[in-house]
């Protein structure tokens, strides 16, 4: 198969023997590249941007994997620079060095891969990277890229040093992923025109850009894709003090007063996640405005959390139902994931991907080869009495 850089003469020759749709696509890509470079990238940046689409899910204040309706305000709470970004100090220090080095050389930053649970600031850090570089920022999500031409349409309009962010990159389709390989390494697009024996590949050059891939499931990303990222950073959950600092910063932006003890109380139930902390803050602001004096105090936070059925560890009703079900219905375990999911009326995927990780991190639940079991800490947190082996044998006898 012949590969070459696209030219006008090739367009004319291929148009005689290849389908019109393929040629129109190639010509459109080439014209968009030229147009984006000529107009400084402003129009091209707008053409290729695809906004992130989130699926619907049940509303839950402590769920960090889905966006709530009031998260439209989240953009105003996002930090705009590395100095404003709180927490993740190791990532910030390293990224600051890489950004300053790339900017001093007037080069595109090496491709950046961000790994971590939802709500820890991967999208925010990608935006900050573009701002620090002084480059255009394009954002999309892997499920939104259905066909290779979707990716080609975006990459054909980028300007030099553009930061291209793909969220949930582990969900890329194989055909799109293979096109991305060449774009990341050679900064060219391969486009097949014609069919059968007349098929050939036209290689279209694109400007050097920075791909920022974010994922919550690094194990599902293929090795060839990971190997093409030059910078790999893993996010950690935030500490109590870091979340309290984030709450104070968000409170200043929302123009609401928060007591220090109240901020720490909200931080305790935020699951180590800034997204959850900001949601809790907004709900406490509502309680303080309607049922208080406007200032978020410890008493307002405790009353609001009780109304929202959130305890001091950040557990909601469904979290406690899982633990209660294992204790009351299965004697504390072990119990299989499928059986447990049926007992609480949830899907097994939701149980394993959302509820269990935090319960395990808190030390309330453990996975064993025989199934799920609650820990002594769970009995103490719920105030439940642990059954002894004798009590279990007696129950089985009668």
**Residues acting as catalytic residues:** 122-123, 167, 216, 275
Strand spans (E) along 117-276: 137-141, 163-167, 188-193, 200-205, 210-215, 231-234
- The closest alpha carbon to 202, from 3, 8, 29, 13, belongs to 3
**In Å, how far are 91, 185, 280, 391 from 205, measured between CA atoms?**
32, 12, 47, 73
**Preceding omega of 120 cis (within 30 degrees of 0):** no
Please tell me the distance from the alpha carbon of residue 100 to that of residue 94, in angstroms, as a whole number.
10
Q: How far is CA 22 from the centre of its chain?
A: 34
- Token pair 């961000």: residue: 114
- The backbone torsions φ and ψ at residue 18, rounded to the nearest 5 degrees and listed phi first, read -110, 160
Please tell me the distance from the alpha carbon of residue 161 to that of residue 206, in angstroms, as a whole number.
11
**In Å, how far are 26, 189, 328, 396 from 206, measured between CA atoms?**
13, 7, 61, 71
Q: How far is CA 65 from the centre of its chain?
A: 7
């Amino acid at each position: 198969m012949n590969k070459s850089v696209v030219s006008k003469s090739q367009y004319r020759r291929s148009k005689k023997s290849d389908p019109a749709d393929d040629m129109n696509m190639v010509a459109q890509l080439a014209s968009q590249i030229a147009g984006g470079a000529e107009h400084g990238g402003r129009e091209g940046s707008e053409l290729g941007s695809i906004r992130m689409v989130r699926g619907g899910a049940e509303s839950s204040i402590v769920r960090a994997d889905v966006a709530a309706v009031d998260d439209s305000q989240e953009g105003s709470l996002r930090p705009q620079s590395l100095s404003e970004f709180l927490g993740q100090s190791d990532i910030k220090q390293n990224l600051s060095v890489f950004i300053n080095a790339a900017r001093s050389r007037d080069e595109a930053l090496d491709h950046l891969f961000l790994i971590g649970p939802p709500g820890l600031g991967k999208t925010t850090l990608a935006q900050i990277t573009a701002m620090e570089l002084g480059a255009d920022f394009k954002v999309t999500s892997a499920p939104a890229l259905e066909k290779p031409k979707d990716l080609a349409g975006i990459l054909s309009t980028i300007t030099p040093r553009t930061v291209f962010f793909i969220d949930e990159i582990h969900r890329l389709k194989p055909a799109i992923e293979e096109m991305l390989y060449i774009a990341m390494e050679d900064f060219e697009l391969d486009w097949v025109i014609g069919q059968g024996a007349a098929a050939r590949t036209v290689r279209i050059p694109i400007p050097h850009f920075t791909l920022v891939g974010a994922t919550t499931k690094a194990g599902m990303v293929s090795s060839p894709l990971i190997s093409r990222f030059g910078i790999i950073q893993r996010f950690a959950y935030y500490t109590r003090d870091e979340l309290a600092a984030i709450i104070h910063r968000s409170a200043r932006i929302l123009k609401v007063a928060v007591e220090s003890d109240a901020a720490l109380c909200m931080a305790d139930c935020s699951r180590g996640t800034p997204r959850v902390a900001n949601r809790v803050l907004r709900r406490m602001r509502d309680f303080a405005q309607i049922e208080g004096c406007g200032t978020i105090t410890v008493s307002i936070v405790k009353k609001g959390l009780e109304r929202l059925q959130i305890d001091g560890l950040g557990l909601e009703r469904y979290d406690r139902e899982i633990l209660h079900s294992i204790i009351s219905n299965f004697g504390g375990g072990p119990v299989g994931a499928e059986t447990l999911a049926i007992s609480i009326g949830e899907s097994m995927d939701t149980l394993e991907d959302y509820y269990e990780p935090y319960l395990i991190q808190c030390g309330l639940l453990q996975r064993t080869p025989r199934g799920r079991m609650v820990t002594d800490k769970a009995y103490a947190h719920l105030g439940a009495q642990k059954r002894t082996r004798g009590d279990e044998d007696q129950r089985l006898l009668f």
